[in-house]
Amino acid sequence: MKIVHTSDWHFGMRVGTGNYEDCQRFFLQQLYELIQKENVGAVLCAGDVYDSGNVGADAIALFDSAAQKICGELKVPFIVIAGNHDQAERLAAHKELLSCVDLHIAGRLERDIKPVLLDGGRVAVYPVPHFNKYEVSELFPETKDDIRTLQDAHMAVFDRIRETMDRSRCNIVVSHAYIVGASLSESDRAVMKGLAPAVSKEVLRDFDYVALGHIHKPQEVGRNARYSGSPVKYSFSEENQEKGVMLVDTEGMSCTFVPFKQLRDRKTAEGTFDELMARSDLKDDYLRLKVTDRVAGSDMQAELGKRFPYLLEVTGISADEGEGESTLTAEELKSASDEDILKRFLAEKCGNYIPTEEQLEMFREAMAMTEESK
């Protein structure tokens, strides 16, 4: 049977003053077409359905429409796990009831993960939601002292599946994790900040396919373990990435990446103010513009914004002429104080804005609080 593997939809994510809803709808349309064209027998979403635990009603309605189309209309089983961005219990609300219509949502981790059986029992899908090591210590009290790292925790969870799975079946795992060696993008926020340590691909051995989520760039990280990547380009570092879904065929176990079109691309363009204003090929895309002959003030930003409705970032030359871009070097960054960095940031990104003493005081307080919580 054919299975679509996708992940990291991040419904509800904000961009500029709006959101990505039209881009996400454009993705869903292509997903529905692929399901019909390839006669797909199941859809897996490997976490980060939503961008946060408290997204707006429009994001929930969008997921609802996708579930209704996939399960209700196309009658295809849809298996979803919670990612680190999802609020596990909320995502999995009504899960028992929803499983009756083949919408299987795994919110919190359970000790014995019940597989969803497909293709007359020939295929077993184990949905493993995102978890931390403390949850695993609680679920497996007998190994409590052995679980010191996230790696140990993953090993315990996946060993449990390995011990109980029927090896005559095609065994597929859906997981939301950062596997060692995976290549990152700027929109992989938690990973970039070092909040999510990597686990070795050794934890994934013996499964026929591992449908991974968490990392936004589609890639292979080991035998039959892949990230499908996010369906939409959520950062400028994804400018040159292809986006799409993985199409898995359990007959002979093959996996192909199916590229999807983007409603709005992401582009970086550089030139003089007049050159950029004359470009007609940038109007429908999310933009980062580098203006080479003017200081990036709010007037210039407003003018460019009128011409390019999806403009997200503008940089210009520095206020003291001829110095070029004033971005800090890595060396300067090391020695600069937090306050210096804030001032430089405001000068560069917010039209030479100079913070008031009151604002600086608030900033110092906030920094002190983050120090305390470390």
Which among 212, 134, 228 is positioned nearest to 174, based on CA atoms? 212
Q: How far apart are the first and last CA of the chain?
A: 48
Q: Least Å distance between CB 188 and Mn ion?
A: 7
Show the tokens assigned to 7: 């992940």
Q: Least Å distance between CB 288 and Mn ion?
A: 21
Contact between 231 and 215 under an 8 Å Cβ cutoff? The reply is no
Q: Where are the alpha helices (DSSP H) in the chain?
A: 21-37, 57-67, 88-91, 95-99, 133-139, 150-164, 189-192, 273-277, 298-307, 330-335, 338-349, 357-372
Q: Least Å distance between CB 141 and Mn ion?
A: 31
Nearer of residues 155 and 196 to Mn ion, judged by Cβ:
196
Nearer of residues 8 and 238 to Mn ion, judged by Cβ:
8
Show the tokens assigned to 368: 């002190």
Spatial separation of the C-alpha atoms in residues 197 and 119, rounded to whole Å: 36
Spatial separation of the C-alpha atoms in residues 231 and 238, rounded to whole Å: 11
Q: Least Å distance between CB 4 and Mn ion?
A: 18
Long-range contacts (CB closer than 8 Å, 24 or more residues apart) made by 290-295: 290/314, 290/315, 290/316, 290/325, 291/315, 291/316, 291/317, 292/317, 293/317, 295/319, 295/351, 295/352
Applying CB under 5 A, among 3, 6, 8, 173 the residue interacting with Mn ion is 8
Identify which range of 8-16, 22-30, 104-112, 127-135 contacts Mn ion by CB under 5 A: 8-16
Q: Least Å distance between CB 128 and Mn ion?
A: 16
Identify which range of 12-20, 41-49, 142-150, 259-267 contacts Mn ion by CB under 5 A: 41-49
Q: Least Å distance between CB 50 and Mn ion?
A: 10
How many amino acids of this chain bind Mn ion (CB under 5 A)? Answer: 2
Nearer of residues 48 and 238 to Mn ion, judged by Cβ:
48
Positions in 307-336 near Mn ion (CB under 5 A) = none
Nearer of residues 46 and 289 to Mn ion, judged by Cβ:
46
Q: Least Å distance between CB 176 and Mn ion?
A: 8
Identify which range of 47-55, 276-284, 338-346, 353-361 contacts Mn ion by CB under 5 A: 47-55
Is 238 an interacting residue with respect to Mn ion (CB under 5 A)? no
Which among 245, 184, 186, 191 is positioned nearest to 217, based on CA atoms? 184
Please name the helix (run of DSSP H) or strand (run of DSSP E) that holds residue 70, with its range, or none: none
Q: Where are the alpha helices (DSSP H) in 68-131?
A: 88-91, 95-99
Applying CB under 5 A, among 6, 12, 40, 48 the residue interacting with Mn ion is 48
Identify which range of 19-27, 48-56, 142-150, 266-274 contacts Mn ion by CB under 5 A: 48-56
Nearer of residues 82 and 118 to Mn ion, judged by Cβ:
82
Which parts of this chain interact with Mn ion (CB under 5 A)? 8, 48
